[in-house]
Amino acid sequence: MTMKILLPPLPGQAVLCLLIIALASMITGCQEDTRASKLDTQRASEVSDARLKQAQSNLLATLGQSPTAKESQYPADNTESPRTLAWNPPMTREDGSSLAPGQISGYRIYYRMKHKNDFNIIPLNDASTTRYRLEDMPPGAYEFSITTVDVDGLESRRSDPVEVNLI
């Protein structure tokens, strides 16, 4: 068994120790913090979900239906008839990055009668169109979802479906 005796560092050794500690701190500080990218991704998802809930709440309100307790509490413009869909243009993409109004080329309204499986699509190729009148649709129980299409043709995921009874 060997035994070591520790002696107090000499002044030159103290400076060298401090330089080594400083260098180690700098190297450690330059490493990528994977937690930051995970938090950014999580935050982007939260922002996207909040906007989706806001759009759904606005859609329900303009159709004269009250939102469920799980949905956003954002107020909607209720000046349209109950047979009009209305929504706000998104300001962010699903990944949380900014989406300027000039990057939106239009929207797609997906709808179906509740007893059917296939969706129909109403393309709206004007980014300024954020309302759609349902007055020409026959009476029935419908399900509606809306997507945003950007200038590159990329389409967002569908909003949560909204059930509407047109009488």
Average pLDDT over residues 137-149: 94
Confidence category of residue 152, pLDDT binned at 50, 70, 90: very high
CA distance 12 to 165: 84
**pLDDT for 99-123, tens place per residue?**
998 999 999 999 999 999 999 999 9
| pLDDT tens track for 25-57 | 555 555 555 555 555 666 666 666 667 777 776
pLDDT digits (tens, 9 = 90+) for 65-85: 655 533 333 334 444 456 889
Q: What's the predicted TM-score (pTM) here?
A: 0.54
Q: What is the pLDDT of residue 21?
A: 63
Domain definitions of the chain by residue range: 37-166
Three state DSSP letters for the chain: CCCCCCCCCCHHHHHHHHHHHHHHHHHHHHCCCHHHHHHHHHHHHHHHHHHHHHHHHHHHHHCCCCCCCCCCCCCCCCCCCCCEEECCCCCECCCCCECCHHHEEEEEEEEEECCCCCCEEEEECCCCCCEEECCCCCCEEEEEEEEEEECCCCECCCCCCEEEEEC
pLDDT recorded at residue 136: 87
Q: What is the pLDDT of residue 94?
A: 87
- Per-residue pLDDT, 37: 53
| CB of 159 closer than 8 Å to CB of 52 | yes
Please name every residue paired with 112 in a beta bridge, in sequence order, or none if there are none. Answer: 143
Domain 37-166: which topology? Immunoglobulin-like (2.60.40)
* Structure tokens, 47: 């922002």
Q: How far is CA 1 from CA 4, 95, 159, 164, in A?
A: 10, 61, 72, 84
Residue with tokens 């479906």: 161
For residue 77, the model assigns a pLDDT of 44
Look at residue 74 in the predicted model and tell me its pLDDT.
Answer: 36
* Token code pair at residue 105: 């080329």
What's the pLDDT band for 135 if we cut at 50, 70, 90? confident
Burial label for 63, CB within 10 Å (0-12, 13-18, 19+), is: buried
What pLDDT score does 95 carry? Answer: 87
